[in-house]
Chain A
Amino acid sequence: MKHSIWQDGIKIGLIGGGVGVLLSLIGMVEAFSQRHIISNVISMGHTLLLVIALLVGYMAAKRASQTQPLRVLANGLISGLMVGGLLALLVMVGNLVRLRAVFINASPVLYKLLTFDYGIGSGIFLLLCAGTFSGVLSGLFYLSPALARRVLLTSLSSVVMAGVLQDLLRPTFALWGPLAIINEWLFAANGLTIQGAVSLFILMALIIYFWAKRGSAVKTGFRGLPPTKQRALRTTGLLFLIIVLLILPQVLGLFLSEVLTIVGLFVLLGLGLNIVVGYAGLLDLGYVAFFAIGAYTIALLTSPELGFFGFSFWSALPFAIIVGIIFGVLLGIPVLKMRGDYLAIATLGFGEIIRILVLSDFLRPWLGGAQGVGKIPKAAIGSIEFAGPQQIYYLILAGCFLVGFISWRLRDSRLGRAWMAVREDEDVAQAMGINLVAAKLLAFATGAAFSALSGAIFASKLGSVYPHSFNVMISINILCLIIVGGMGSIPGVLVGAIALVGLPELLREFADYRLLVYGAALVAMMLFRPAGLWPEAVHRRELQEEESVGTETESLSGPEPGKQEGV
């Protein structure tokens, strides 16, 4: 470690500054600044740059040990300065050269944003100061005790999240009379009010602080209760959760219920692919095919437009699932001997075959070709019709519960063990007496059944099916969500679906940058949490907590290179 003091700060700062400049030039900062986090104080665009400066400052500060506070602060300061400096450089260059010829977003508006509306001279000075200041703040943050860090981080990020998701929160509060007061206190026309932000910050800080102080006491208190009481408490918690889930669409209103249904469909898909990829380790990139098969089976059996059968949704549903299973097995047989990359390519091909088949003129009389199939009836029980998102939500919720329950039972079953062995090492699994053919085909079939169920609900939800709804991006999306959530983990699927499907739906106005953020998030995930947001290992650790605390948990939570094989 004989390199100069400045090196770390400069290097990391340059990277951060580069990212800042890039995000500015592609217009992300400008687009984000439309929305204010705190009304008239800070916009989302500025927050984005601030977060970069803070993050970079923190990373630079981390390069030094906490015992050398000066060095920490210096590292933070330099890197922050670098971020500010590069952005300042962008403003200066932009004023001399017409960058707009190449970068359409390098507009005067952007420069105004970057200089905080103070003109070139003082603006650049302010920019440098802001960068330096955030760098130093990060340094101080790094030096502060762990509890303070946790409190600060959580409260600040909840303020930011409240600002980002204001469109979600505001209408929710507005629905209930008494809660409208919160709305007025918290939100201005655009963004949080100052007093709202401050009170939210304080509230969150207090909650985190007390949880940190008392949380373990509460937990041990819970463990100390007699088992019957523990179970009663758990059941109450579960009941409460179910009630919340049941009234959710009424509380959230139409748009958010729609988002929920989309998330729910992806949860169904994710749980299915989780069996194939997460449990059995078979990398399937053509998974959307089964989604399409489920949707088209419903269309074929129910739509009066095609006029073949005219089944109701419920009588067509079992057929959709059975057809899905049949195709799952049909795909499984030819790829039984394939592994890893080869399997991925072969399944990718299968997905495309199905999409092109439904698109083809050849099958047009049956499947509608490029025009798709319309007039698919809604599902109904008695006189209740699952028409709008607020009703379909319940259908999907029921599906998720069912599929989640099956997944959970399967994981701990004999079949689940067989899948686990196949995932870890096919040859040895066979040598342990596991029927490889059966295990793989069952994985494909189960995954396909879940996916077909999701497709069936999707068809009845939209009332029509089109080939272009089933492109390869859906498969990739599902795969990403189970990787981000945590391979093989059931709650991970939910978390992944919310993060990768729900959030982008809520932030539609920034849809241009969706893929960029998506990609960046995936890279960051693989670097920092390769096991996923809610890894399965946590569960395993919990189960064995009494027996072992030491070595095993460490090696499970650490980044394991082997964890990513087959991805």
Chain B
Amino acid sequence: MLEVENIHAYYGHIHALKEVSLTVEKGEIVTLIGANGAGKSTTLKTISGLLRPRKGSIRLDGEDLIRYAPHEIVVKGIVQVPEGRRIFGRLTVMENLEMGAFSCPDRRLNSANLERVFNLFPRLEERRNQVGGTLSGGEQQMLATGRALMANPRVLLMDEPSMGLAPVLVDSIFDTIRQLHASGTTILLVEQNARMALQVATRGYVLQTGTVVLSDTAENLRRNEMVRQAYLGES
């Protein structure tokens, strides 16, 4: 469904991504794992159009995405849950969700999406009129995810959803991801928490200093010696 082929991206002179290729098939959860600065978030940024690759191609169902602006890519169906949640702190939960539906003018679809989000996160429905900034970290992550779902994504890009959350909330975030998967959402998940990520994912890619060093099914990656040592902290 989503095919990223040999992309090279730069921050100024810094060669941040060197020939990164990956694919995400419909209904899959694919995870990108790697250390800080390995290029995980950069890959997401490139896919969502915020960073233009110098070489390579990004295709969604065969259509080249590189010529589109970021807001057009959202309309095409690639929606990001940004790193650090980045909800609109001064707007209410409802307004945040409405903002998520900005790219999607179909009202009926929006109310169906809203229902779906509230089913997934009943907590958000309880707090629909609360200001986003006053939510707890876990609720903010729910809101950020819900907001992205309001855009009716075909591929959901999740950037470090477990960052800065208490362990119990991390579990619930991954439960949500499983639920989304079960309902057929396609997800590209970037995580530092490799252990959890590899538990929910179908396949995974390991990034090191801007290149894919390893790609396999999640199960095989979990067993891989190098992954176990470097990312799962086992010896």
Chain A residues in contact with chain B, CB under 8 A?
A: 414, 417-418, 420-421, 424-425, 427-428, 430-437, 544, 547-548, 551-552, 555-556, 560, 562-563
- Extra inter-chain contacts (8) besides given A424-B89, A433-B79, CB under 8 Å: A417-B99, A428-B86, A431-B48, A431-B80, A432-B74, A432-B102, A551-B130, A560-B133
| Interface residues contributed by chain B, number (CB under 8 Å) | 31
Contacting residues, chain A, for B147 (C-beta < 8 A): 432
How long is the Cα–Cα vector from A10 to B141 in the complex, in angstroms? Answer: 49
* Chain A: minimal CB distance from B95 (Å): 8
A–B complex contacts, Cβ < 8 Å, 24 sampled: A421-B88, A424-B91, A425-B88, A428-B86, A428-B87, A428-B88, A430-B50, A430-B71, A432-B100, A432-B151, A433-B74, A433-B79, A433-B104, A435-B71, A436-B71, A548-B129, A548-B130, A551-B130, A551-B134, A552-B130, A555-B131, A560-B133, A562-B133, A563-B90
How long is the Cα–Cα vector from A163 to B89 in the complex, in angstroms? Answer: 45
Contacting residues, chain B, for A421 (C-beta < 8 A): 88, 99, 102
* Chain A: minimal CB distance from B129 (Å): 4
Q: Which residue of A lies closest to B87 (CB)?
A: A428
Q: Which of A430, A544, A548 has the most CB of B within 10 A?
A: A430
Per CB-CB distance, the 4 closest pairs between chain A and chain B, nearest first, are A433-B103, A433-B74, A548-B129, A424-B88
Q: Contact at A430–B70, with CB atoms within 8 Å?
A: yes
Contacting residues, chain B, for A548 (C-beta < 8 A): 129-130
Q: Contact at B90–A562, with CB atoms within 8 Å?
A: yes
Contacting residues, chain A, for B110 (C-beta < 8 A): none
Indicate whether B22 reaches chain A with its CB closer than 8 angstroms: no
How long is the Cα–Cα vector from A555 to B86 in the complex, in angstroms? Answer: 19
Indicate whether B69 reaches chain A with its CB closer than 8 angstroms: yes
How long is the Cα–Cα vector from A432 to B100 in the complex, in angstroms? Answer: 6
Q: Which residue of A lies closest to B131 (CB)?
A: A555
Which of B102, B104, B131, B134 lies in contact with A434, CB distance below 8 A?
B102
Q: Which residue of B lies closest to A540 (CB)?
A: B92
Contacting residues, chain A, for B90 (C-beta < 8 A): 424, 560, 562-563
Q: Which residue of A lies closest to B101 (CB)?
A: A432
* Chain A: minimal CB distance from B105 (Å): 8
Indicate whether B98 reaches chain A with its CB closer than 8 angstroms: yes
Q: Contact at B131–A556, with CB atoms within 8 Å?
A: yes
Q: Which of A431, A547, A562 has the most CB of B within 10 A?
A: A431
Q: Contact at A420–B133, with CB atoms within 8 Å?
A: no
Q: Contact at A427–B91, with CB atoms within 8 Å?
A: no
Indicate whether B75 reaches chain A with its CB closer than 8 angstroms: yes
Contacting residues, chain B, for A551 (C-beta < 8 A): 130-131, 134
How long is the Cα–Cα vector from A434 to B49 in the complex, in angstroms? Answer: 13
Contacting A at CB under 8 A, from B161-199, are: none
Q: Contact at A420–B91, with CB atoms within 8 Å?
A: yes
Contacting residues, chain A, for B103 (C-beta < 8 A): 432-434
* Chain B: minimal CB distance from A539 (Å): 13
Binary contact readout B67-89 vs A (1 if CB under 8 angstroms, 0 otherwise): 00111001100011010001111
Q: Which residue of B lies closest to A552 (CB)?
A: B129
* Chain A: minimal CB distance from B142 (Å): 16
How long is the Cα–Cα vector from A544 to B147 in the complex, in angstroms? Answer: 20
* Chain B: minimal CB distance from A294 (Å): 32
How long is the Cα–Cα vector from A432 to B81 in the complex, in angstroms? Answer: 10
Which of B87, B98, B134 lies in contact with A555, CB distance below 8 A?
B134
Contacting residues, chain B, for A552 (C-beta < 8 A): 92, 129-131
Contacting residues, chain B, for A414 (C-beta < 8 A): 102
Contacting residues, chain A, for B104 (C-beta < 8 A): 433
Contacting residues, chain A, for B82 (C-beta < 8 A): 427-428, 431
Q: Which residue of A lies closest to B98 (CB)?
A: A417
How long is the Cα–Cα vector from A457 to B108 in the complex, in angstroms? Answer: 46
How long is the Cα–Cα vector from A434 to B102 in the complex, in angstroms? Answer: 7
Q: Contact at B50–A433, with CB atoms within 8 Å?
A: no
How long is the Cα–Cα vector from A562 to B91 in the complex, in angstroms? Answer: 12
Binary contact readout B127-152 vs A (1 if CB under 8 angstroms, 0 otherwise): 01111011000000000000100010
